[in-house]
Amino acid sequence: MIKYDCSVNKVIEKSGATSWIFHKKFKPPLILSKEKDFILTVNNALQAINLPLIDTAVPELEELTGLRFDRGRYLWKNYEKGQLTIQRSLCKDISGNYYDCIWKITLDSSKIK
């Protein structure tokens, strides 16, 4: 398992969903260029918080809804433990280079299919 130089806070949202928020230095990267790398980087972050892995990529939610609010959000409606949402941000590494990262993972267990 990959170790990240960040801390993770687990919070319960007003909706009842559980979120894990990555803080501080090196948040988990999210590689968007290739499907297999996308799945691998999501799974590395899921493994870091002890959640089951995914086996399929999903498009950015904005592509499906057309809403700017959904930019940087990825939604798995058929995730085994409920509805899984990954939120992307732009992070800076110690060299000052920017990269896409995962800043929040949300699991809504009330939406198990």
- The CA dihedral of 57, 7, 97, 44, to the nearest 10 degrees, is -30
* pLDDT reading at 113 higher than 80: no
Q: Tell me what percent of the chain is helix, strand and coil, each rounded to the nearest 5.
A: 20, 40, 40
Separation between Cα atoms, residue 50 and residue 87, nearest integer Å: 18
pLDDT value, residue 82: 94
* Region 50-76 average pLDDT: 94
Q: What pLDDT, on a 0 to 100 scale, did the predictor assign at position 23?
A: 84
Whether the predicted model's global pTM rises above the 0.85 cut:
yes
Q: Average pLDDT of the chain?
A: 90
Model pLDDT for residues 23-43, shown as the tens digit of each residue: 877 889 999 999 999 999 999
pLDDT tier at 93 (50, 70, 90 boundaries)? confident
**Residue 65 confidence (pLDDT) above 80:** yes
